[in-house]
């Protein structure tokens, strides 16, 4: 089928939610939570709750079945038990529904003959009537522009990142955590068992989607290896693709098979494929989020020479080791630059005036702005990583906000004024007040277009991957 058949999934004019209860709690995953999430998402189309008992919920009429809905229905979200799925798909066929998402589990992922047969029968009816099926056994669709969501607390602000994720739990975590670091999504799809809509369909759709500039893909297994290879190759020539391939060990492959019924594939084959098409491979959810942050906010530095600016001598030494191990270069500073930096300080006591640089107590009085100005004017530095070791200051917690706010404001101002790439690392929180500050500071940074990471290692690894990706892209273009 053409990928245009997925338009009803992302941009439906009307949605029915089957499995809603007039007495249900929207805080528990199920029909009521989907209804609540779509209302909160600002969906502008027609919304129809469905339950055999009828009634009213959240001010909406509840219809006994999809067939009883008076208007057209483009998309159905099913949160009913698997035993009712076959009748539901028949009702959808009679109604002329274009697509359905089965949140419910109890199909082929169980590995039992009855679950496999049920999924086969549902799919047969769907294909006969041209209905696209998302799932079963998945969270479904989050599309801020159209108002669709699978959680009520998701951002309603649309962005340029598309996510393809076989796992529902990981889709929820990453969509939430990436949003808290400034990434905004065009479309997110948790597709579970991939009985119909699969990774190749979604990769092809995202590749051609004008609203998507970056693709994130979490893959447990593929239905058609050759088709997926072509889809991935096509996508990677058009936009960056970040791939987290899981199920690469024996135990992981077993888990993938029992989770979504997927065959995981050989790790070396995946390594070769992703390298061949210049997709960026990551190994963990945290790295996946890091790279989404990187491609969203991290301007490509002209080289690998990095200045490390931080607080705390020991933390600064560790930062230098970690950045170097991840492939960045931490050059020593020339005497004239060290002298000009030292001239900004009231005292050099307890400071390290080199690279990495630790200003210690002088940071609060001098601030980071003049230091970042010096770095921006030195051609031997391509990028500055500003390292906030929150919690290492020998001052009362109530003074932290005043100190750290000044320094963060210095960084955002320098980023705006000087143009040379700057990223921020915030780590080592030790008290709740530190964590609260970190959340607010992170938002200040991403609102200013600055990438924020949780460790020097993560920042350096992300920067290194970005540089490798861009170098290979230029090489392929013949530049």
Does the pLDDT of residue 398 top 80, yes or no?
A: no
CATH of the domain at 272: 3.40.50.261
Averaged pLDDT score across all residues of the chain:
90
Same domain, 317 and 290: no
User: At a CB cut-off of 8 Å and minimum separation 6, what does 313 contact?
Assistant: 350, 352, 358, 360
Report pLDDT for 477.
85
Total-model pTM: 0.92
Report pLDDT for 357.
87
Report pLDDT for 257.
47
Same domain, 197 and 60: no
Same domain, 130 and 181: no
| Cα 320–chain centre separation | 28
- Count the residues in the chain: 479
Residue 149 lies in a domain: no
Taking residues 284-308, report their average pLDDT. 95
Burial of 29 (0-12, 13-18, 19+ CB in 10 A): middle
- Residue 424's H or E segment, with its range, is strand 422-427
CATH of the domain at 123: 3.40.50.720
Residue 142 lies in a domain: no
Q: Which domain holds residue 236?
A: 157-297
Q: How confident is the model at residue 256 (pLDDT cuts 50, 70, 90)?
A: very low
Q: What is d(CA 178, CA 76) in angstroms, rounded to the nearest whole number? A: 28
Residue 140 lies in a domain: no
Same domain, 289 and 334: no
User: At a CB cut-off of 8 Å and minimum separation 6, what does 393 contact?
Assistant: 311, 400, 403
Same domain, 102 and 176: no
pLDDT greater at residue 82 or residue 258 = 82
In degrees rounded to 5, what are phi and psi of residue 396? -60, 145
Question: How many structural domains is the chain composed of?
Answer: 3
Same domain, 290 and 310: no
Residue 123 lies in a domain: yes
Same domain, 98 and 184: no
Last residue of a domain, one of 297, 332, 353: 297
Same domain, 314 and 460: yes
Does the pLDDT of residue 335 top 50, yes or no?
A: yes
Last residue of a domain, one of 228, 263, 297: 297
Same domain, 410 and 377: yes
Same domain, 329 and 399: yes
Does the pLDDT of residue 263 top 50, yes or no?
A: no
Residue 86 lies in a domain: yes
Residue 151 lies in a domain: no
Same domain, 276 and 392: no
pLDDT in tens, 201-226: 999 999 999 999 999 999 998 989 99
Residue 143 lies in a domain: no
In DSSP terms, 243 is beta-bridged to: 217, 281
Residue 334 lies in a domain: yes
Same domain, 419 and 439: yes
Greatest extent of the chain over all pairs of C-alpha atoms, in Å: 81
Last residue of a domain, one of 275, 297, 319: 297
Does the pLDDT of residue 109 top 90, yes or no?
A: no
């Amino acid at each position: 089928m053409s990928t245009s058949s997925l338009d009803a999934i992302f941009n439906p004019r009307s949605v029915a939610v089957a499995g809603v209860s007039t007495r249900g709690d929207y805080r528990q995953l199920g029909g009521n939570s989907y209804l609540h999430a779509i209302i909160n998402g600002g969906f502008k189309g027609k919304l129809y709750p469905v339950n055999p008992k009828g009634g009213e919920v959240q001010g909406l009429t509840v219809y006994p079945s999809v067939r009883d809905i008076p208007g057209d229905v483009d998309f159905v979200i099913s949160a009913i038990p698997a035993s009712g799925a076959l009748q539901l798909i028949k009702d959808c066929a009679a109604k002329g529904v274009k697509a359905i998402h089965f949140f419910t589990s109890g199909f082929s992922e169980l590995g039992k003959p009855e679950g496999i047969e049920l999924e086969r029968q549902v799919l047969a009816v769907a294909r006969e009537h041209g209905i696209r099926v998302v799932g079963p056994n998945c969270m479904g669709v989050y599309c801020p522009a159209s108002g669709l969501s699978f959680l009520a607390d998701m951002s309603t602000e649309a962005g340029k990142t598309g996510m393809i994720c076989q796992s529902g739990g990981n889709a929820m975590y990453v969509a939430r955590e990436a949003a808290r670091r400034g990434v905004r999504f065009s479309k997110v799809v948790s597709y579970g068992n991939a009985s119909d809509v699969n990774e190749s369909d979604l990769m092809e759709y995202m590749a051609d989607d004008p609203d998507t500039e970056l693709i994130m893909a979490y893959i447990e297994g593929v239905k058609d290896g050759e088709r997926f290879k072509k889809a991935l190759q096509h996508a990677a020539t058009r936009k960056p693709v970040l791939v987290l391939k899981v199920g690469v060990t024996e135990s992981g492959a077993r888990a993938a098979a029992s989770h979504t019924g997927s065959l995981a594939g050989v790790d070396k084959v995946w390594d070769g494929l992703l390298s061949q098409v210049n997709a960026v491979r990551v190994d963990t959810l945290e790295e996946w989020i890091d790279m989404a942050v990187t491609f969203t906010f991290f301007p490509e530095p002209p080289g690998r020479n990095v200045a490390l600016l931080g607080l705390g001598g020991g933390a600064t030494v560790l930062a230098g080791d970690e950045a170097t191990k991840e492939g960045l270069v931490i050059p020593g500073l020339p005497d004239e630059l060290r002298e000009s930096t030292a001239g900004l300080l009231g005292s050099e006591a307890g400071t390290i005036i080199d690279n990495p640089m630790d200003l210690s107590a002088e940071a609060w009085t001098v601030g980071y702005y003049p230091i970042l100005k010096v770095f921006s004017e030195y051609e031997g530095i391509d990028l500055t990583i500003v390292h906030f070791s929150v919690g290492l200051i020998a001052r009362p917690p109530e003074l932290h906000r005043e100190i750290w706010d000044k320094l963060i404001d210095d960084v955002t101002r320098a980023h705006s004024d000087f143009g040379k790439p700057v990223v921020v690392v915030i780590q080592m929180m030790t008290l709740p007040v530190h964590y609260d500050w970190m959340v607010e500071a992170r938002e200040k940074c991403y609102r200013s277009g600055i990438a924020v990471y949780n460790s020097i290692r993560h920042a350096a690894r992300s920067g290194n991957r970005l540089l490798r990706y861009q170098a290979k892209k230029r090489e392929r273009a013949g530049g």
